[in-house]
Amino acid sequence: MAAQDSLRIGPLKVRASVAEVEAFRRETSGGPAARELPFTYPVRWFTHPDIRAAGAGLVGPEPWVPIHESQTFEYERRLEVDTDYQMVVELSRESEPPRLVLRAEIGDAAPCLRSEMVLRIVPTSALESGG
């Protein structure tokens, strides 16, 4: 299960506005507004254009769909709304099974959160053929 390729991205500036957090809460938990970000909110930052482009570059030119396998969040301390943070992401491509692993560290002067997302790489040809 050794990584074939890996890239490091960042630091990227990330921030969650009050409006973005309220929309996330409405779509997920419906919980009340707070100064702290919802526990799973940082998953949204994995969609940053630089991260998407790097992932696509690691996978290659064949059309594919990312299927979410897992997500972990290891907090040192909570993240706040309307606060700037720096995020560094390491992307790795694994061959068996074919997938992308994204590991992020998010924080300010010290890490607040370490997170990992695993995406299975499914070629769209496999979806079209039913296999």
Percent of the chain with pLDDT over 70: 88
Do 124 and 63 form a contact (C-beta atoms < 8 A)?
Answer: yes
Instruction: Give 13's Cβ-side CA count (13 Å radius).
Output: 4
Write out pLDDT tens, residues 6-22.
899 999 999 999 888 88
In CATH terms, the superfamily for domain 3-128 is: Hotdog Thioesterase (3.10.129.10)
Whether residue 11 is preceded by a cis peptide bond, meaning omega within 30 degrees of 0, is: yes
CA distances to 55, 57, 96, 128 from 61, rounded to whole Å, are 11, 8, 19, 17
**pLDDT score at 30:** 66
In this prediction, residue 27 has a pLDDT band, given cuts at 50, 70 and 90, of confident
In this prediction, residue 34 has a pLDDT band, given cuts at 50, 70 and 90, of low
